[in-house]
Amino acid sequence: MSLYAGLIAHAKQAILRAQATYSGFPVGAALLAKDGSIFTGCNIESSSYGLTLCAERVALAKALSEGVTEFQAIAIATPKPPLCPPCGACRQALWDYAKNIKVVLAAEDEFQIWTLQELLPHAFDEGFLQ
């Protein structure tokens, strides 16, 4: 049983709200703040495909827009394996706002736990803009 079982359960619930008619690939995410609050997200697709929002960035935007800015982990769930790693754009957005959080991938009874730095080594960030 993962330390993150509760967070995974939230991400799995969020799959049910995915708007993924074009890809048929629903994703749920649950972002755990340092204060223990959880913000869920699902992918939201558009008929203009490039406007699609990934589950992870929906969760991140919800948290930031509610004034929550410190995070410890994100769970990303799909209905079935293989486990779904965050796309490159989501890795960057998470690094920008959540730095080296834990990234928990889950599907059915499978899970893996990574650090964001493992998934995005040598990241670009605000440190290069000084």
56 catalytically annotated: yes
Min separation Cβ 52 and ligand THU, Å: 5
- Here the tokens at position 47 are 């008929």
- Give the one residue of 5, 25, 34, 70 binding ligand THU; rule: CB under 6 A: 25
Q: Give the separation between CA 47 and CA 99, rounded to whole angstroms.
A: 32
What is the spatial order of strands in the sheet that 71-77 belongs to? 38-42, 28-33, 71-77, 102-107, 110-115
Give the number of residues in contact with ligand THU, rule: CB under 6 A: 14
Residue 52 in the binding site for ligand THU (CB under 6 A): yes
Give alpha helix (H) positions in the chain. Answer: 5-15, 55-65, 88-98, 116-119
Residue 43 in the binding site for ligand THU (CB under 6 A): yes
Q: Give the separation between CA 7 and CA 52, rounded to whole angstroms.
A: 24
Footprint of ligand THU on 63-122 (CB under 6 A): 84, 86-87, 90
Binding site for ligand THU (CB under 6 A): 20, 23, 25, 27, 43, 45, 52, 54-56, 84, 86-87, 90
